[in-house]
Amino acid sequence: MIKWLRSAPNQFRTYWDNNSRQYEPDFVAETGDSIYMIELKSASELQAPDVLAKKAAAEKFCKYASDFTAQNGCKAWKYILVPHNEITRTISLKYLITKFN
């Protein structure tokens, strides 16, 4: 991982629920070849309608961002949804990307 951030309110213009609600990822992390929007959710909520709607909005954002960055020689954007029970003190970003990408 090169760097990471916890997104600020309104940092990303990503909307869901018929563009009436804004989605903000929990974290954004940059690796050598990609930028990842990372969302942590309770394992029991992974199939909840609002979680799936936010996931679709984030994946759409990543597609448009990747289309732009591909034309400009920059890194691809990707989204990963991670169940909370996968997070431990010793877990690595590389592991999460491999398992949930």
pLDDT for the residue 2: 85
- Backbone dihedral angles phi then psi of residue 48, each to the nearest 5 degrees: -65, 140
Please tell me the predicted confidence (pLDDT) of residue 101: 83
Q: Is the confidence at residue 9, as pLDDT, over 90?
A: no
Q: For 19, left (φ over 0), alpha (ψ -120 to 50), or beta?
A: left
Q: What is the pLDDT of residues 19-63, one digit of tens each?
A: 888 899 999 999 999 999 999 999 999 999 999 999 999 999 999
Contact 36, 78 (CB under 8 A): yes
Asked whether the beta carbons of 41 and 27 are under 8 A apart, the reply is no
In the chain, the number of structural domains is 1
Q: Supply the range of the domain harboring residue 81.
A: 3-100
Residue labelled with tokens 């903000």: 24
The beta strand positions in 20-101, using DSSP E, are: 21-23, 27-30, 34-41, 76-83
CA angle 32, 7, 10 (to 5 degrees): 130
Q: What is the pLDDT of residues 69-96, one digit of tens each?
A: 999 999 999 999 999 999 999 999 999 9
